[in-house]
Amino acid sequence: MPKVKRKSASKRRAKPRRSAGLLERMGESVSRYAVASIAGLTVVIAIGAAALVSGGYVGLAGERVGAVMRDASVSVGLDIRRITAIGYDKTGDSEIVGAIGPVIGASIAHFDLHAARARVENLGWVRSAAITRLWPNTIHVSVREREPAAVWQLSGRLHLIDPTGAIISEVDVYEYSNLPLIVGAGAPESAADILKALRSDAELWGEAAALVRVGERRWNLRLKSGADVRFPEVDVEDAVKTLARLQAAYGLLDRPLEYVDLRDPARLVYREAAGGAAGEQQIQ
């Protein structure tokens, strides 16, 4: 199995001045590859046509013609000899090579870019991918990976999810313990809005311990202090903004709370822990 060639960490962290130079060289390479692409395809078409005529294949079914064209491209050196990739860290080399498939020695002109991209994007860590031919013999993969946002718990199993709720991979109990836990059936599909809202406020995000899906309708936020924040079924982003505003103005979450209820957008209800005071007030 071929190894995927990574760009070194030093190159990825290049200074701006050196990055500009790299972009120039990449631009020149793109031009050269574009010329090679046109030349390569021209050769394939010409040799393939000659092979068809000389071999008496004109008029044969498309499948046989395709095989002749593939053989023609390989015979003139347009066969895949290596795979390169950039932009990934959590995804394994073998995963990318496996998604690309056993292509070494196959015709680069007939390599299915769209199918290969779909397979790479089906890998858990991969958010998006671009796959290109670098003529005459290289397949290049550019990957953008998902960002972990929370851990979803269901039936005793833990799954890492991204901010959109997409499942990345199954994880162990001690992995990603710094991220909030999401509990409940159907939670990942519904978590995107509240995750986005909480992540927009650094203080709230730092206090989040778990998100519990209640009746597949709404969310409770369990804070690291042990208090629960009850959010409404709709307009959860507005409720998160209200909570952030109350914390900034009054230090609401610094109190020894049992719960905060924001289900009524016009008023705040709260109770302090251990038989402490309860109260409510209008939300301005």
pLDDT at 200: 93
95 and 113 Cβ atoms separated by less than 8 Å: no
Per-residue pLDDT band for 231 (boundaries 50, 70, 90) equals very high
- Residue 109 has what DSSP assignment? T
Greater confidence, 91 or 17? Answer: 91
pLDDT of residue 34: 45
82-86 and 138-145 beta bridge pairing:
parallel
| pLDDT tens-digit readout, 133-145 | 999 999 999 999 9
What pLDDT is stored for residue 46 in this prediction?
55
Q: Is the predicted pLDDT of residue 281 greater than 60, yes or no?
A: no
CA distance 212 to 238: 18
Mean pLDDT value of segment 47-76: 56
| Domains, the chain, with CATH or none | 9-145 (3.10.20.310), 150-282 (3.40.50.10960)
Mean pLDDT of 77-103: 93
The region of weakest confidence among 70-74, 187-191, 236-240 is 70-74
Question: In the structure, what pLDDT confidence band is assigned to residue 188 with cuts at 50, 70 and 90?
Answer: confident
User: 74 vs 2, which has greater pLDDT?
Assistant: 74
CB 109 within 8 A of CB 62: no
What three-state secondary structure class fits 5? Answer: strand
Query: Residue 7 — pLDDT band, cuts 50, 70, 90?
Result: low
Amino acid identity, position 6: R
**Residue 17 confidence (pLDDT) above 50:** no
Q: What is the pTM of this model?
A: 0.70
pLDDT above 90: residue 119: yes
pLDDT at 76: 72
Nearest CA among 86, 94, 91, 123 for reference residue 9:
86
Closest CA to 187 of 205, 223, 214: 214
Confidence of residue 27 (pLDDT cuts 50, 70, 90): very low
Q: How do residues 234-278 score in pLDDT, each as one tens digit?
A: 999 999 999 999 999 989 999 899 999 999 988 889 888 876 666
Mean pLDDT of 21-32: 34
Q: List CB contacts of 64: < 8 A, sequence separation 6 or more.
A: 57
Assess whether pLDDT exceeds 50 at residue 5. Answer: yes
* Residue 23 confidence class, pLDDT cut points 50, 70, 90: very low
